[in-house]
Amino acid sequence: MQKPLGSGFNAASTANDVIQGIDLTGKTAIVTGGNTGIGLETTKVLAAAGATVLVPARDIEKARKNLQGIAHVELEPMDLTNPTSIDAFAERFLASGRPLHLLINNAGIMWVPLRRDSRGIESQLATNYLGQFQLVARLWPALKKANGARVVNVSSFGHQMAPFNFEDPNFEQREYHTLQGYGQSKTASNLFTVELDERGKHFNIKAYSVHPGSINGTELGREAPVELFQQMGFCDAQGNILPEVAAKLKTIPQGAATTVWCATSPLLNDLGGVYCEDADVAELDAGQIEHRHDDPSTARGVQPYSLDEASAKQLWTLSEQMTAIAFLAN
């Protein structure tokens, strides 16, 4: 299943390109992080196609400003780092009685120093993965009600930086490296997608993980020191992005394309549990793909360890333990 379908789209395709001819009137979507970056673009495009889009946000005033003037959008408070806040949001949505057709788990953090949530869980794992797990678990009744729901987990090529460390997921016994924490969280998201799709088959729920691409103009690297970008060859001595690097980065509309494609493409009606990029199913990376730091377009392919079915089941069990949620998906 993990091989390109020949969708007709590519790295240059935009979210508007991939949704041409698709009508989402009467559909309800939730987009976490839907008020900035590629999440905001996803919200705009889904709403323009007729969907009602709920955007849960930690900073309501910032979100209201960013979403001003966009029709069919509802704003709700939620903090992905706070389990109680996730539960409260989900309870409000379930109380509305609406089916949930599209759940876009877009929000995430990167390049942060070692932080832990109230449970002692490393912050990138808590935000980028366990928040997804809890939100899907709590919204499961509404996803089932849709009879054809899709869950899109925004992952990253960064999963190639680290497999999931089952022995020490919270960096209690090993030195903390922020990119290892990020990579592990994205591998977790990919593994979650595999098992979620398997458990959702009985209810016509499909799941996808997405690499949006290397994108210019998002807030994802806001806490990263400029020295890090300089070491990677992305910036000059003054911290300005090099023109030759910028030319190879995606725009925000291009970065949102794969998310929107996974959420809406008829090509995926009978296929789930896959990792996608450039608005198509990604190629399995068995070592044949050359990756270069100075060329973001080579950041492609998916590692087999992040699609391993046994690891996916093991992670599901661990996630239930870490979140104290018995997500049986039945």
Residue at token pair 């869980």: 121
> Which of 129, 176, 182, 208 is an active site residue?
182
Q: Which residues pair with 277 in a beta bridge?
A: 211, 280
For residue 135, which of 210, 30, 27 has the smallest C-alpha distance?
30
Q: Does residue 182 have an active-site annotation?
A: yes
Please state whether 85 falls in left (phi above 0), alpha (psi between -120 and 50) or beta: alpha
* Length reported for the chain: 330
Angle between helices 178-200 and 131-146 in degrees, nearest 10: 20
For residue 76, which of 61, 104, 56 has the smallest C-alpha distance?
56
Burial of 324 (0-12, 13-18, 19+ CB in 10 A): exposed
CB atoms within 10 A of CB 82: 15
Give the active site residues.
182
